[in-house]
Amino acid sequence: MSEGHHHDGSIAQQVREVEAELEASGIVSAAELEAILDAMRTPADGARVVAHAWVDAAFRERLLGDATAAIEELGYSMHGGVRPQMLVALENTEAVHNVVVCTLCSCYPIALLGPSPPWYKSEAYRSRVVREPRAVLSEFGLELAETVEVRVWDASAETRYLVLPLRPRGTDELAEEHLAALITRNGMIGTASL
C-alpha cells in the first residue's frame, strides 16, 4: 500500500477485520451484517453540516474554502484517530457532479457519515468508479445528463471528502432540521442525488 493508505492497527482496519471474522465464522452473513450496520449508521452530523450550508451562504463559502475549520464552527472535528485529517467539501452543481472513492483502501469521513457501506470498501467500486464513473453511478440509479461533468476524488489517510449535494427543488421553505432529514450518506459520497 502507498504511505498515505496504510492502516495497520487503525480502528477502521480493526473493524474491517472483525467484520471479516464474523462473516468467515458464519456468525453473520454479509447481508445480515449490513442490515445491522445500517440500523446503527446515521449521517446526522454530515447531514447537519450540509443542511447548514444550504441555509447559510456565508457558512457554505467557508465550508468550501476550509471544510476542516468550518465544521468546527458546528462542534465537529476531524482530529479523531491517530493523526488529524483534512476535510475537503465538494459542491455539486447543475454542471458538475462529484463522487468520492478511496482507490487503495477505504478512507472515509467516519466522524461525519458513520461507518462506511460495504460497497465503498469493495474492490469493484474502488477500481470501477475511477474508470467508468457514469456506469457505476447508473448502477446506483443515478443517471446524469451527458452535459454534467463527473469528477472523481480519491480520499487518503490525510484527506477526506464530503460532497455537498444539490439542494432538492421545492425545499426553500423547509427548516434546517427538516433539510437534514433529507440528506443521505450516499448523497454525501456522491453516489446518489437527493
Q: What residues are annotated to the active site?
A: 102, 105-107
Is residue 106 within 8 Å of residue 16, measured between CB atoms?
yes
Q: Is 163 exposed, middle or buried (0-12, 13-18, 19+ CB in 10 A)?
A: buried
Residues facing 159 on adjacent strands: 86
Is residue 110 within 8 Å of residue 81, measured between CB atoms?
no
- Which residue type occupies 75? G
Return the closest-CA partner of residue 86 out of 162, 13, 15: 162
